Amino acid sequence: MSSETGTGKAGVIVAPEGADNMDKLAHSVLDDLLYNIVHDLLIKVHRDEKMARASTAAIKVEKLATDASETPDSKPDVRVETEAAIYEDGKVLLKGNPLKTTKEILCSRCHLPRLLHPTDGKGAKKPDPGVIYCKKHPYIEKPGYDIYGQTWVAPGPGRGKKKKDMVDKKLDPNDANSPAAADGGSAKDRPPNVLSFPSATCSKCKRCILVTRLNNHMGSCIGNSGRNASRAAAQKISNGGSNGGSQNNDNTPPGSQKGTPLPASRGASPRKRDVDEFDEDAEESDPSNPKKKKAKPNAPTKKVILKTKLPAKKEKVKANSMLNVETKVDDEDIKNSTVQVAPKKSAPAKGPSPSKKLKLGVNAKPPLPAAAPKKTKRDRDMESESSGTLSSPPQ
Amino acid sequence: MSARPATPASPKNVKIKAPQPGQPLYGCEHLQRLFNQDQLTTNTSIQHYKSILRSIFDTTPLIPQTSKSMESQVVTSLTPTYLCLQCPSTLSEEDRTKHGNKKSHRFYVDSRSGSLYCQMCDDIVWDPTIEELRLRKIGTGTFTTNRKRKADDLFTPDPNKDTPQFIATNTTLASCKANGLRGIYNAGATCYQNVVLQSFLHNPVLRNFYLSDGHHCEMPHCLSCAMDDMFQDFYGVENTNGYTAANILSGFWISEKKAFENLVTTKEQDAHEFFQFLAEELHERNGDGKKPEIGSEHSCNCIIHQTFYGKLQSTTTCQHCGGVTNQVQSFLDLSLPLENLAQKKGKKSGGKIPAMALQECLDEEYIKSDKCEYRCHSCNSMQQARRQTTIKRLPNVLSIQLKRFEFKQGRNERAAKIDTPVHFPLQLNMLPYTNRAKAPDGKENYELARSCTYDLLSVVVHVGEIDTGHYVSYCRVGDQWFAFNDHKVELAQKSDVLGARAYLLFYIVRSLS
C-alpha cells in the first residue's frame, strides 16, 4: 500500500530515494505511528475544547432564558436564541459548531470566563483588567516561581531553618528581632507573592512553633524521646514558668521574651519561638486579629483559637491569609457563625455533622483580596512585626 | 445485528441522556435531527454505535482497522478508519466522503478513539449520550451502570442526604481555585511524609472517600481525622500557600503504634516506611479493627484495603511428588529488589549497569519461579520445590517500591543506594503478573487486559545518599503532571516524570477513572 511511496499518512518520515521495499515499509509504519500519536493528542484536545465551548454556549443561553422569564424556575418556559444555541422547552440545542460560534470559555461551575493564558512566565498574556475571571487560572511556568506565581525567601542565614543560621543570630544579641526581621519583618519590602514559613500549634503543649521546627518540637514534646528530650526537660524546668506566659500567641515584645534567662545551649530556641508567635498572628485570618487581641488579656495563659468561618465569608474583606489551618474548628461552629474563643485547643474531635463536606464546600473560605482596606492601625502594626506569611499587602 | 435472530429486538427504547444544565442536549444539529426522527432510528443508531464500540475495544484491532474501498479492495491500515454508524461499512478517510455522498450516511465512528464524526459539520462531535457510552466502554467495559465497581460499596447513597435540596442548603460550593494543588511545609526533615501525603491527596479513591464525608470518629488525635482536615483544606479552601501538616504530624507522634520507634525527631526517614505506617494507621481508624498481618490473607472493606491492598498467591510445587501448595497473602505494595537484577545486568555488560525497566523487575518477581527447600506433606520430607508468586487480586491503586538499596559485602557492610535508572511506563499492563495471565484468548482477554491496565498516578523520588537526602514527588492531576518539593509546586513535563529515579510508584487502575 503506502510502502510504495516510502511514507505513511503523516508524510513526515520519508524513506530516501532508492531505498528497498523493507526500508520503505519501515518508514511508512513509523510515519503512520507518528500520525496516530498526533491524532490521539488532537482528539483529546479537541474534545476538551469543543465540550467547553458547547457548555459555554449552553450556559449563556440558559442565563438569558432565566433572565427572560419572570419566575425563578430552573426550567423557564421561554424560547431564547443566541448565535450559538437555542433554548426551548428547558432544552439547549446547539446551532452550528461551537468551535466557530463561541469564542470564550465560561467556567461550568462559577459561570465566569476562564482566563486562557497564564499571567506570568511561559506564554503569559496580560489579562483584561475589566473582566472578572474564574478563579481557576492557567498554571504559571516560570523558573523560581510555583504554579501560582509565588516565590520564597531564598535559603541562607536568617531563614532560621538551619542550626547555623540560628547560631548566627545568637551572636547578635542586640537584634532581638533578627529572626523575625529576616523571616518576615521585611514583608513590606518583599513583593506580595513571596511566602515565608508559617507557624503551627503543637497539639500537646499548645505552643506555637515555626513549621520548620515542628517535627523536632513534637518529637521532644509528644514523642518524649530523642536526643532533645533531656534538653527539652531541662529547658522546661529552667524557664517553663516564664515561657508559659508567652505561650498564647500574645504580642509580648520579642525583646522582653528574649530577656528570659536561658541555658546557653538553648539560647536560640526561645527567640525562635518569638518568631513563631508572630508568625501565627500573620497566619490567622485578619478579621480575627482584633478580636484575638481583645481576648488575650482575659485568658493570658491559654491558647486562643478563633473560629471565624461563616462570618469571615460574609465580610468579603478578608485580608492576607486564612485561619491557621492547625486551629481547625469544630463543625458546629460553622452554624454558630460568631467568633468563639475556645479555652483550649481541642483535638480534632468532630461531631458527625451531616452538613459537612457533602460538597467539599462547607469549610470553604472566602476569596482573599489582595488588600484589606478595613484594616486598623493596630493590625498594621501587627503586620509589620509579623513575618507576613502570605502575600502581606504592601502598606 | 441480524446474526441473532432468536433474540427479539430489545423492547426497551433507548433514551437520550436527560438535559443537564450547562450542557447542550445533542452534539450537533445533525445528530439532533437523527435522534428526533423516530424512536426506531434512535434505537438502531445507539445499538449500532454500541456494537461498533465493542468491535473497537473488545476484539483484535485488525477488524476495525480493515476497510473496504469503493473498488472492493480490502485494506488494513495502522491509521484510523471510519466505521459508518448507519451501515456496517468500514471506510478509509478518503472513501468516507464518497460513501456519504452515495448513501447519505453522515455519521462515522473513529476506529482509534470511538468518537463520532459528523460529515455535515465536518468535525468530530461530542454528544452527551454517545460520549457517555464511549467513556463507559473505555472505563468499565460495559454500557450499564449495574455492574458494581470495587469502590462503590463505600459510597452507598443516603436517600435523605442525596436530594439536591439537601445538598444545596447544607453546602457551599468550593471555589474554582481550590484544586488540591498546594505544597506541604517541611516541618524539619519531614519530606518523607510530605511525598506520601501528596500521593494520598492526589489519589482519586482516597479523595472521594474523604471529601464525601467518609470518615467519622470521636477519637482525639486521630490520624484519619487529620487526613480528613487536610483533604478539606486542599480541596475546599482557596489557599495557594503551603499546608502545615501539624495534625498529621502530631497524630503521627501520638500514635500508639510504635512502628516508628526508631523514628525520632530530626532524623530523616524512609518514605516507604511512612507509607506503610500511614496505611496501617488509617486502616485501624476506618477498618475492621484487625491488625493487618504481613504474610496472611486479610480481607477488610475499609478505604485503605479498597484502595491499596491486593492479594498475592504463592504456588509451591514439590519437585519430588508434584504436589502443589497454594498460599495467599495480602499485600499493601509490591517491593521489587533491584540488587540481583542490577548485578546480573552489570555482569553481562561488564561493570557498568545499564538502565532497567520496571517490567523486567516485575518479570523477575512474578513470572519467573525460583527453587527452594520445602517440607512436603505428601512426601513427608524436605524436598526441592519450585515456588512461583503471582498476583491473585490487583488493587485499585498499585503501589510499587523499588528497593534502591543493597548491602555491600566487605569492610563496613553498610547499605548503599542503587542509583541505576529504572524505566517505568505511564501505562502499565499488569495482566502478565496475575494468576490469570494464561487465560484463554478472545473477547474475555481484552476485557481482562483492560481491567489490568494501570495509569501512573504519582512518583516519589529520593535524591541523595542512602542515609541522607531529600524526597520530592510528582503527581498527576488529570493529564497534567506537577512536581512537589515540600511547599513548592511546579508544573512538570511527562519527560521529567519518566526521567526521574523513582523510589515509590503509584499506579491507578484505568477502569476506575
Backbone φ and ψ of A53, nearest 5°: -70, -40
Domain membership of residue B256 (yes or no) is: no
Q: Which domain holds residue B112?
A: 29-140
Mean local confidence (pLDDT), B66-80: 83
H/E stretch holding B295: none
Average pLDDT over all residues of chain B: 81
Res. B107 pLDDT band, cuts 50 70 90: very high
pLDDT at B395: 92
Residues of B in contact with A363 (CB under 8 A): 232-233, 236-237
Domain membership of residue B112 (yes or no) is: yes
Please return the burial class of A296, using the count of CB atoms within 10 Å of its CB with bins 0-12, 13-18 and 19+. Answer: middle
Give how many domains chain B has, as a whole number.
Answer: 2
Whether the pLDDT of residue A336 is over 90: the answer is no
Taking the CA atoms of chain B, what radius of gyration do you get in angstroms? 27
A302-317 pLDDT tens trace: 444 444 444 433 333 3
Nearest Cα of chain A lies from the Cα of B426 at a distance, in angstroms, of 15
Closest residue, chain A, to B253 (C-alpha): A223
Q: How far apart are CA B389 and CA B216, in angstroms?
A: 38
Residues of B in contact with A85 (CB under 8 A): 24
Closest residue, chain B, to A28 (C-alpha): B78
To the nearest whole percent, how much of chain B has pLDDT over 70? 82
Domain membership of residue B50 (yes or no) is: yes
Q: Give the residue from B391, B379, B392, B366 showing the smallest Cα distance to B323.
A: B379
User: Is the model more confident about A367 or about A226?
Assistant: A226
Closest residue, chain A, to B113 (C-alpha): A40
pLDDT at A339: 41
Closest residue, chain A, to B185 (C-alpha): A211
> Which CATH number fits the domain that encloses residue B88?
3.30.40.10
A82-101 pLDDT tens trace: 888 898 888 888 888 999 88
**132-161 of A, contacting B, C-beta below 8 A:** 134-137, 139-141, 146-148, 150, 152
H/E stretch holding B326: strand B324-331
Domain membership of residue B78 (yes or no) is: yes
Among A20-34, A175-189, B63-77, B392-406, which is the least confidently predicted range?
A175-189
Contact status of B22 with chain A (Cβ, < 8 Å): yes
B169-183 pLDDT tens trace: 655 666 777 788 989
| Length of chain B counted residue by residue | 513
User: Is the model more confident about A356 or about B139?
Assistant: B139
Domain membership of residue B107 (yes or no) is: yes
B212-261 pLDDT tens trace: 888 888 777 788 888 998 998 888 888 888 888 888 888 877 776 654 55
Backbone φ and ψ of B429, nearest 5°: -100, 115
Average pLDDT over all residues of chain A: 61
Q: How far apart are CA A168 and CA A164, in angstroms?
A: 6
Whole-Å CA distances, B116 to B121, B124, B234: 11, 6, 37
pLDDT at B76: 87
Task: Return the residue in A63, A146, A323, A331 with the most chain B beta carbons within 10 A, the one to mutate for interface testing.
Answer: A146
Q: How far apart are CA B150 and CA B512, in angstroms?
A: 8
> Which CATH number fits the domain that encloses residue B491?
3.90.70.10
Domain membership of residue B308 (yes or no) is: no
Domain ranges of chain A: 21-101, 163-282
Q: Which of B112, B140, B168 is the last residue of a domain?
A: B140
Q: Which of A190-199, A226-235, A237-246, B148-157 has the highest mean pLDDT?
A: A190-199
Q: Which of B77, B111, B140 is the last residue of a domain?
A: B140
CB under 8 Å to B31, separation ≥6 — which residues? B107, B116, B118, B125, B127, B130
Q: Which of A229-233, A354-358, B348-352, B415-419 has the highest mean pLDDT?
A: B415-419
Mean local confidence (pLDDT), A216-222: 76
Count CA atoms within 13 Å of residue A232 on its CB side: 16
Res. A241 pLDDT band, cuts 50 70 90: very low
pLDDT at B292: 61
Mean local confidence (pLDDT), A187-200: 65
In terms of DSSP bridges, do strands B422-423 and B427-429 run parallel, antiparallel, or are they unpaired?
Answer: unpaired
Q: Which of B93, B118, B140 is the last residue of a domain?
A: B140
Beta bridge partners of B434: B391
Residues of A in contact with B249 (CB under 8 A): 214-215, 218
pLDDT at B318: 84
Mean local confidence (pLDDT), A33-56: 93
Q: How far apart are CA A210 and CA B341, in angstroms?
A: 45
For residues B462 and B469, the answer to whether their CB atoms sit within 8 Å is yes
Tell me how many degrees the CA angle B83-B84-B87 measures, rounded to the nearest 5.
125
Q: Which of A19-23, A172-176, A266-270, A378-382 has the highest mean pLDDT?
A: A19-23
pLDDT at B284: 83
User: Is the model more confident about B367 or about B147?
Assistant: B367
Res. B162 pLDDT band, cuts 50 70 90: low
Contact status of B479 with chain A (Cβ, < 8 Å): yes
Res. B83 pLDDT band, cuts 50 70 90: very high
Mean local confidence (pLDDT), A147-157: 71
Q: How far apart are CA B417 and CA B408, in angstroms?
A: 10
Count CA atoms within 13 Å of residue A212 on its CB side: 18
Residues of B in contact with A99 (CB under 8 A): 123
SS (H, E, C) B230-286: HHHHHHHCCCCCCECCHHHHHHHHHCCCCCCCCCCCCCCCCHHHHHHHHHHHHHHHH
Domain membership of residue B98 (yes or no) is: yes
H/E stretch holding B314: strand B310-318
